Amino acid sequence: MRVAHELERAVGMEYYASDSDGTGGRLRESPADFRVTEIEDFDTQPVDADAGDYPWLVVRATLTRWDTNDFARELSNRAGISRERVTWAGTKDRHAVTTQLFAVRDLAPGALPEVPDADVEVVGRAGRGLQFGDLAGNEFRIVVRDPGRPEQADAVTADLEAFAGGAAGVPNFFGQQRFGSKRPVTHEVGLAILRGDWEGAAMAYLGDPTEHEPADSQAARALVEDTRDWRAALDEFPERLRYERTMLHELAGGGSFRDAVETFPSNLRRLFVNAAQSYAFNRILSERVDRGLPFHEPVEGDVVWFAERDAPGGVARPDPGREQRVTVDRVDVVARHCARGRAFVTAPLVGTETEFADGEPGEIERAVLAELDLEPGDFDLPGDWASEGTRRAVLLRPGVDVSHDPLTFEFALPSGSYATVVLREYLKTSPLAL
């Protein structure tokens, strides 16, 4: 298999699934070039339903140049309510045109404020707010600008069909943005936390400058690494690096490295551990590629999840309640289910409840964890640091439709999967261009 870009290898994506040269080009030249629309999976009542029983107003917002968190904050500010009264099911990038649901508690339709660059329509009412997972997936329409060899798209598709044994498929890697696009260190912080290395966690976040970030950030991080003079570093760290500055204030005041790391809000604490899990998952998938094991069908020892019976929007999703371990006498039968989209080969997002696969897949899982000096028990941590773990499908079949003039890709993915892991196969360029 073709070796991946060096920045991708740093986050566990060692290979491409396609050997053909890519099209080249750039994404997100304008927000309209990157359109994302949620495939909704949330029941609502009519807007005139009893607000006492259904206190959440559900709206559908089409946003241009809005990060999901920033839009929620702006909406709540303009409505004069707490930000905690605005919920959503999935976070979207600001360098795009995105359409998604929001739920707002105790807000009348007539009190819905106007927000610049946002087209908001009332959908109905609900008895609870939206939660992560209340969407089946996302549909994408992505335009590539200035591709050097657009004709290569067909060759890549053929490679991906061969890789997935039929309809085009790609490894279900966690994309670069999971780890930090320009400075991929979230998994390094998480791995240090899981090993009980609080100093390593703090320094991974504060130090480790990269050439892809602004010069003033690089200089400030270098100062921290060279001197560990926390007060001097406060004079150097830009105001925009607010989490780093909060950590430095804690350290300058005599706090421990653990104290500094624990200044992060709960969502970031979970992000660090999740990033460590994601990195291990990417490494497991890369090792599966390296050993030549299939992604589209099981081998003896694999753990398979069967598909949800009622997944909306035509997006097949694995059901964690329908698990099967593949024994030698069941390989062919389960392979037929996988070929029909009724089952998925999985790999672990390791946590305290992880049970490894058997056979060669289990050897891979154990070997990767050993290389990272981790074991499931390391995830038994207090509060937001803890994770029971789960499993995740190893293959995506996005159903890519390619058109030209301009080069455009249309496809759909289940929630939690990354459009960039599809586009990286086609462009074969730096992840910073994605």
Q: Is 112 within 8 Å of 122 (Cβ atoms)?
A: yes
Is residue 93 flagged as an active site residue?
Answer: yes
Helices (H) and strands (E) in the chain, counts: 13, 14
Complete DSSP assignment for 290-334: HTT--SSS--TT-EEEEEPTT-GGG---EEEEEEEE--GGGHHHH
> Which residues lie closer than 8 Å to 66 by C-beta, 6 or more apart?
74, 94, 98, 117, 118
Give dist(CA 82, CA 198) in Å, integer.
34
Structure-block tokens of residue 360 = 């060669």
Of the candidates 332, 338, 329, the one whose C-alpha atom is nearest the C-alpha of residue 307 is 338
Active-site pick, 67, 70, 93, 329: 93
Backbone angles phi, psi at 35, to 5 degrees: -110, 130
Q: Measured at the alpha carbon of residue 7, what is the angle toward residues 136 and 32, in degrees to the nearest 5?
A: 45
Structure-block tokens of residue 419 = 């459009």
- Find the DSSP H helices in 185-241: 186-194, 198-206, 215-227, 230-236
Q: Is 276 within 8 Å of 254 (Cβ atoms)?
A: no
* Neighbouring C-beta atoms of residue 212, cutoff 10 Å: 15
Task: Write out the catalytic residue numbers.
Answer: 93
